[in-house]
Structure 1
């Protein structure tokens, strides 16, 4: 039984962990490893999970692989876990995916950033209305990769079925304007992970997605507690220990000029260093080089020392 919308909203007020997709040497999905990662993170206190998300290599998965991976996660987790399943693409394709997710018991639909070359804000609002009409499950639009107006964001909060917005734009002023102008009943989630947690909390977000916390969940939990208690000094201190690994994720990697190219393999390496499953990546992402993997381990070891110092 899927969670009611009110419970989904409540669980957005916390740390949402992204579940990566481990691939074997033949680049096939290793479902057992997805399930084991989900169960381990749940045992460590995480309750909100992003499945078939960007960090799951959403665009490298077929429609059926998305459904199968979400089903693996839903089946692996207890009923009090909240699973948000990634949905994107054409209206017809997204509605088909939503119907499949409904059948397997996903709790909410995370509507992926639009991948259309040409967009109109009013047309995009119609897109969300059409997807909402296809399901009773709540929707959480993921805002990233385009530059909408604060007015558009406020209008987004007033669409029936939308219970939260995952905001991943590096613009705190626009965020604050949209929150002030939008519906108070929608939960805003910082989609840029720990580095933006303090600044965006001050603007009115009530939760954040994991970066380092994808493989060290105690960091996210401690940061969320500090923010909830308005212990700003501790919150900034915890945020700061995450910055080296997060900055590493933002790098281009070798023989490349595109930022963030090593983001997913860097998190997969973090999972492996934490004793979880990382696995291979699919194109157009490349695995870490030996030098990059060594740097990741060096940064992780410093992070591990900082966690021991800060988290009892």
Structure 2
């Protein structure tokens, strides 16, 4: 298995499928994760933002993480979501450790906004709940100051930082603060919505990794983009960016929460009955579905042209 301090490849955030009755569809979830493993992601992040952790009970999170560990079977790291109310986050952390996950992604506590000191305490409490290392997610109600990250970096249990704000100035300050702590092994990655759009800027800042929600619904397109990004084929990267990612972002920005809703809709358009999103998120309307289908078709054509075989 890839070392947690040497992650490489697309970071895969699977959706959480639901049955028509609204319950977890574990069989479909395992099928989707097994299929995406054939595309060689760098890690699997179940029950995180794309997996609708905000709408899952801690027991549902535990089932999703257990299924991920079973199907991945040690091929890549499984990094489970833990966040929201502290009690919920602690339950998720403990169950992830019990079922054999490799690490935790600490998502924001939601609703409330604490101080920098409070956020440090929040991360430390979750890290103390199990022996699993943790990655900090810098977004929303959990925005960490450079000093807070310097302090957290002193704890060897903190192994990574996911940026979800896109403030490159603050990111550079955090990178410098972590280096000043003496840590050279923390993994940093771009965690913005549709991260492919901004990844060139993150790479220039010294952050080569990114999460990909698009990989969950369109692995061929995401793979073609990633290959072009890694090999420096700028014409190909820009062609996919212009024809697929930019229209996808324009559609995503029409409605709050579409960073998740469109991914599930894209899977449904390609024959995977993952169900809709749970409230308070909403699903796209017919016109938006038609536009998403058009965007996917264009992206898949570009992926084939780049030599990525659709499956």
2:67 pairs with 1:72? yes
2:169 pairs with 1:173? yes
What is the SS of the residue equivalent to 1:140?
strand
**Deviations 1:210-241 (CA, angstroms, capped at 9, x unpaired):** 03222222444444444444555554444333
Q: Assess if the C-alpha contact under 8 Å between 2:134 and 2:158 holds in 1.
A: yes
- Give 1:185's aligned residue: 185
**Equivalent residue pairs, number:** 300
What is the aligned-residue RMSD (CA, Å)? 2.2
What is the SS of the residue equivalent to 1:208?
strand
**Deviations 1:162-214 (CA, angstroms, capped at 9, x unpaired):** 11111111212221221122132201010022111111111111310003222
Cα deviation, residue 158, structure 1: 3.0
Q: 2: distance between equivalents of 1:204 and 1:230?
A: 16
Distance 1:121 1:247, change over 3 A: same
Q: Assess if the C-alpha contact under 8 Å between 2:50 and 2:213 holds in 1.
A: no
2:253 pairs with 1:247? no
Q: Which runs of 5+ in 2 are unaligned?
A: none
Q: Assess if the C-alpha contact under 8 Å between 1:194 and 1:211 holds in 2.
A: no
Cα deviation, residue 78, structure 1: 2.7
TM-score, normalised by the number of residues in structure 1: 0.87
- Give 2:147's aligned residue: 151
2:46 pairs with 1:51? yes
Q: Assess if the C-alpha contact under 8 Å between 2:106 and 2:135 holds in 1.
A: yes
Greater CA drift, 96-105 or 271-280: 271-280
* Aligned with 2:26 (options 31, 55, 68): 31
Distance 1:105 1:196, change over 3 A: same
